[in-house]
Every structure is written in C-alpha cells, then in structure tokens.
Structure 1
Amino acid sequence: MAVFRETVPRDLRDKMMELNWSLVLLLILLGVAGVAMLYSIAGADWSPWANRHAMRLGAGFAGMLVIAMFPPRFWMGMAYPAYFGALALLLLVELFGVNINGAQRWIDLGPLRLQPSEVMKVALVLAMARFYHDLPTEKVTSPTGLLVPLMMIGAPAALIIGQPDLGTTLLLAATGVIIIFMAGLSWWFILTVSVAGLIGVVGVAVYGLENILAEYQMDRVRAFLNPDYDPLGINYHPNQAVITMGSGGMTGKGFLEGTQSKLGYLPEMQTDYIFTALGEEFGFVGGISVLAINALIMAQAVGVAISCKSTFLRLLTMGLTGTYALYVFINIAMVSRLMPVVGVPLPLISYGGTVVLSVLAAFGLILGAHIHRNAEPPKGAGLFG
C-alpha cells in the first residue's frame, strides 16, 4: 500500500503563514483596478457593474483561500469527476442554454448565469495533470500518452466551438498543448507535429479560410488584415478601440475623465474592451502597469511550478498559469489590433461572474501548490482513485 509523504504544514494556521501573500496582493491589485474601471465607465456609478464585480471578487478571494488549504491528494481525486462534470454542463448548454446575442454559452441559475466553458478551463488542467502524474514518463509519447489527452481536449472543444465560441476553443486547445509539452513530449515528436502543422497552414491558405470559418469569423479576419475594410461596419469597433487607447497619451485623461468609453463608441466596454477604457484614463503608464502586474503574477506562478516536487502539482500550476497568460495576451492583443477580435475577457478586471470565480479558483490551486510544494502524492492516490 502506497504511503502519502507530505513534509508540509498540516495545521491551518501554519498553512496561512505559508501562503504566498505577495501573489495574493498582486491579484487584489488587479481586482481593485477592475472595480475602479467599472465604476468609471458607468459614469461614476457603482451600478450596474462595479458593485456586483466587487461582491464576486470578495466571494472569489474567500473561495481561493479555502481551495488553497486542501492537500493535493484531494484535488487529484477530484480531477476526473470535475472534468466529466464540466463536460456534462457543456452538454446541458446544448439542451437548455441561454442564447445571448446569437451565442448559446450560459446556463441560467437565477442570480448567476453559469458559463460551463470557463469551468472546463480549470477542470481540463486538473484532469490532464492527474493523467500525466499517473502515466510513466517513458509512455508520454506513446499512443496512450497522446491519444487520451487529445481526446480529453477534443471533446469539450467540439462542444464549445458549436456555441459558437472560437476564442475559448482556441484557448482550451492551447492550454492542453502546453500541458502535453510540459509532460515531457519528445522534441522529435514536437518537430514532426510542427512540420505537419505548417503543411496544414499552407493547405488552409490554398483551400481558403472562407471554406472553413463562419462568415462572421471570416469578416473578423478581413477586418484584422485590412483596417480600411468596412470601416463603419465590422471594423468600426476595432478601430475605435485603438483610437480610445491612443487618446490617453502617456499618462491618460485622468480617472473618471474618459470620454470615448462613456459615449458608447465601443460595445461591451465592461468586458472585452475594458483595457481600452483603462488606456484612455491612465494612458501608456496605466496600461504598462497592468501588464507589469500580470507579468509578476505569471512569474510568481511559474516559480511555484518549479518548486513543486510532484508531477501533478507542477503540471497543474503550469497549465493554469498558461491559461491565465493566454487570457491576458489574447484580450490585449485583440483590443490593440494585433489579432482578430475574439471574445476573451481581461482576468479580474473585466466584468463577469463565472470568469472571475474560475480564475480565482485556479489561483487557489496555485496557492495550494505553493503550500504543498514538498508533497509527493503516489500515483493513483486520491479521493476517487
């Protein structure tokens, strides 16, 4: 019988002392920035976004600290149930989902609209980390070591792309690839796949994107490639985003002094385009400050991953950090016209219920990995395994 060895604090007080408080502080700074920007774009009004965002952040931070206290063997045991539970929720979206602006991505729970794709982002990382923890290293590049994780990625991706939600689908796939790579994939295999991918890109270019993407997605690609294409239609909002950020100059117009954001030049200012409002009011300095805080958060999380002894905690932390980094990169690249428009929010700053809670749950797991970094759970150990 395997013995669980854990040379980490077991007492709750000791675990709180061991918590990475600098990472917690950085996350709080982002949350405060989010509340401030939501207050500003509503015309110096706590309603309808800032008050709700603040309450969700409060609940999320409390939940984050609770999650961090659980030992890794608990999360190992919850990994597969969480994955299949999230998959079931995605199926429920197909049957009973709420349709908003042509997208069916939510389940209406009364006070909260649950977005299962956000839950899946965390559940997929948990399940893949558990899978590779149990898999012998020499079998990582075996058919089992590749096909099973690809199926784990493909099943939710197929459901999410049909909602339709291309941004989340790509983010989920990229996260899965990061974990596969970090699990110890052979460089020869990576080279082979890269060559095959390059051939695939050439094939898509020859065949034509218009035969693969939906029309609205193709319009977004055209808008990205040509800023002058349909300037009053599909390109209006991307161009306005750049104008709004540029109007802030070096130090911005000042808190509550933004005009572009308050006059309704951009849709969903409280979610996808909130970085433009921040750029208008706080300028280049404000934008760089947000990027610097995010860079510090990612550096801290990578440091946690490096310090972990177990494969499970290492892959879990790197997978969740990769997901977070993709959130930040895609959102800021989108509003800066560095990539086509996709619906990905800016973590902890953008308004949203499920997104805020899922991001903070992910950091709860990362903080827990830091506390239990010396833990070495045996293969196959867990609440259900």
Structure 2
Amino acid sequence: MKTRTRSDALLFILCLLATAIGGLFIFDAGYARALQVDGSAWPKELRTQIAMAFVGLVAYAVAARTESRTFEKLAKFSWVLCLGLLLFVDVFGHTQNEAKRWIKLGPITLQPSEFAKIGLILFLATTFANRKAWPSFDRIKDPIRRFESWAPMRLKRIAPGLLALAGVALTERGKDLGTAAVLLAILGAMCVIGGVRWQTLLAWSIVMAVGTAGLVMKEPYRVARITNHLQRWDPKVVDSEGFQSAQAEVGMASGGLTGVGLG
C-alpha cells in the first residue's frame, strides 16, 4: 500500500482556488443587497465565508501535522460522536423552516450532519484499511455449524455499513434528504474504493434506490419539488414554486458555457 509522508501541494492549491471562486460568487450575488442594507459592498455571507476559511486553514494545519495512526484511533469514536450529535438534534435540535437540523449555541449554529460527512469518510476508510480477507467455510460440512461460524463474521462485516445507515436515517429525520443522499453517496463510493464485491454493491444499490424513492414519496413537499420542476413553466407555478428552476434555466440559456460575467 502506498503511503504519503508529505502533504499534497496540488490538492491544497485546488482547495484554496475553489474557496476563492466560491467567495467571488458570494460577493457577486450579494454585494448589491449589502449596499442597500448597510452601505457596505461586503455581504455578511462573504464575511462569514472568509472567517470560516481561516478556521478551515487552522484545522488543515493541525491535521497536516497529525499522524495517520492518530486519525485511525479516533475514527470509531468520531463516528459514534457524530451519531450522538445527530440523535441530540433529533430530540433537542433547533427547528427552522420546519426542518430540525441544527444545534444552537448562543450566536453560533452548528449542523452536525456536516461533521458527519467527514466522520463517515474517516470511519469507513479505517474500516476498509483494517479489513481482513474473508475465510472459506467449505471445510465445515455440517450446515448448522457452518452457519454458526459464518453468521457472526457476516454480522461483524456489515456492522459498519449499518452504523453508516443509522447516520443516514437520523439525518433524514431532520428533513434533510439532500445531506442524507450525500452520506449514502459517500458510503457507496467508499464501498467501491474498498473493494466490496460487485454482487453486494448491486444488491445494496437496489435496496437504496427503493428506499430513497420511498423517502421521497413519504413527504408531500418532496414530491411537490419534483412535479414543480417538471412543470416549472406552467403559468400557475412559474412565479412561485417553479420560480427557482425556471430562473436557473434562463440563467443557463443566457450564459451558456462561459456565462455573462460578474454583476
């Protein structure tokens, strides 16, 4: 297995570039409103973004100087902590726009599902890195004994996936299907990278597809989002529920691949 002893300079530069481009887009989208509200050309969202970028740089500096073994030791604890925070949100979380996704600590609002994205990657990476080869049970002729030997190992094998799905379920309960889908995508990608058999991947993909469809159908507003998008040019919804989709299409049609520039 290849290991890195130095940080990836290219990856670091690309992250800085993506952050800068994101900040530029925030400025372009919000400077006019900021001028009207407080006379400043710097939107509040941009100032927050810059502050969080510095926090991210500090976190990067700490992580870059931490050995991988330390992350490996903290992987399970970090995911259990994420599950605990998600459970806390489900019971005591701050509700906004009928969604319960946040922990409010005075002026600071935290969204544990964002930490769960990183925690899940760390947890699954450690799980796959320490996974041992699957033994053969063919030498055990008695089917009962074979099952007794096979079942505990199989349960231990799928336990990390079940813990990951627990995080997905807790996130969805906060009416955050988008982040739940991201966690599912992380789980799927890590399984592919980790070398899970294609038969297992196919079976889980079918189950997840059916489950996701069921979650969409469970909430009327999710179904409405899909139908409104498909009917976005209907005069009844083009200036209300379909406004965002319609304007996005207008923007893409006007700007093409290169856009129309800032402002």
The TM-score range, normalised by the shorter chain, is 0.7 to 0.9
What is the Cα deviation at residue 90 of structure 1? 0.9
Of residues 206, 231, 253, the one that matches 1:246 is 253
State whether structure 2 residue 221 is matched by structure 1 residue 216: yes
**How do 1:164-203 residues align onto structure 2 when only pairs under 5 Å count?**
164-193=175-204, 196-197=206-207, 201=210
The structure 2 residue matched to 1:234, chosen from 216, 235, 241, is 241
Residue 216 of structure 2 contacts residue 222 of structure 2 at CA under 8 Å; is this kept in 1?
A: no
The alpha carbon displacement at 1:237 in A equals: 1.1
Q: Secondary structure at the match of 1:108?
A: strand
Q: Structure 1: how far apart are the matches of 2:216 and 2:53?
A: 42
* % identity of equivalent residues: 28
1:162 aligns with 2:207: no
Tell me the residue number matched to 2:88. Answer: 92
In the alignment, which of 43, 60, 67 is matched to residue 64 of structure 1? 60
Alpha-carbon distance in 1 for matches of 2:131, 2:77: 18
Query: Which structure 2 residue ranges, 5 or more long, are not aligned?
Result: 33-40, 136-149
* Kept in 2: contact 1:210–1:218 (CA 8 A): no
Q: Which residue of 2 aligns with 1:102?
A: 98
One-letter code aligned to 2:49: H
Q: CA deviation at 1:197?
A: 4.7
CA distance in 2, matches of 1:168, 1:7: 31
TM-score (norm 1): 0.55
1: CA distance, partners of 2:175 / 2:29: 28
If asked which structure has higher relative contact order (CA below 8 Å, sep 6+), I would say 1
Indicate whether 1:27 and 2:15 are aligned: yes
Higher share in helix = 2
- Is 1:135–1:145's contact at 8 Å kept on the other side of the alignment? no
> What letter corresponds to residue 175 of structure 2 in structure 1?
P
The 1-side partners of 2:232 and 2:178 are apart by 21
- Provide the C-alpha distance between the structure 1 equivalents of 2:11 and 2:215, rounded to a whole number of angstroms: 44
Looking at structure 2, the residues matched to 89 and 67 of structure 1 have their Cα atoms a distance apart, in angstroms, of 22
Displacement, 1:191? 4.4
Instruction: Evaluate the alpha carbon distance shift between residue 111 and residue 21 of structure 1 in structure 2; reply closer, same or farther with a 3 A threshold.
Output: farther
> Are the equivalent residues in 1 in contact too, given 2:94–2:101 (CA < 8 A)?
yes
* Structure 1 stretches lacking a partner, 5+ long: 1-5, 10-17, 258-385
Report what 1:361 is aligned to: none
Q: TM-score, normalised by structure 2?
A: 0.78
Deviation, structure 1 residue 193: 4.7
- CA change 1:204–1:193 in 2 (3 A) is closer
